[in-house]
Amino acid sequence: MLKIKKISEVLGKHAYTSEGEYFGQVEEASLGENKIEGWKIRIAGGMSNFFAGARGVIIPHSFVKAIGDVFIITKAQLPNKEEPASQFELEENIQ
């Protein structure tokens, strides 16, 4: 059975990669044409190296593997140290 969550229940959840690394905290959902297109996540300190020191990033909803007690993001879709984070919208002025 598919369990539907309200966006307000997801905001504030901790986000982890599929490999179990802490990624950050969900701050907002990006909506478009009656569906979620992406998620704004405040990046944890260790992950900011992958995103050129940005404080936050908007990841496409297709990168989300599961939403439950925590938010799980597919690690294979994330940039590595050799690959730039060009497909992500970086948020440098998150308050």
- Number of other residues whose CB lies within 10 A of the CB of residue 14: 14
Which two tokens mark 81?
Answer: 């140290």
CATH topology of domain 7-91: SH3 type barrels. (2.30.30)
pLDDT at 82: 53
Boundaries of every domain in the chain: 7-91
Angle at 4 between CA 40 and CA 6, to 5 degrees: 50
What digits encode the pLDDT tens for the residues 22-37? 989 999 999 998 899 9
**CA 74 – CA 92 distance, rounded (Å):** 23
Residue 18: closest CA among 63, 62, 60 = 63
What digits encode the pLDDT tens for the residues 57-94? 888 999 999 998 999 998 876 766 555 445 455 555 44
pTM above 0.75, yes or no: no
CB 11 within 8 A of CB 27: yes
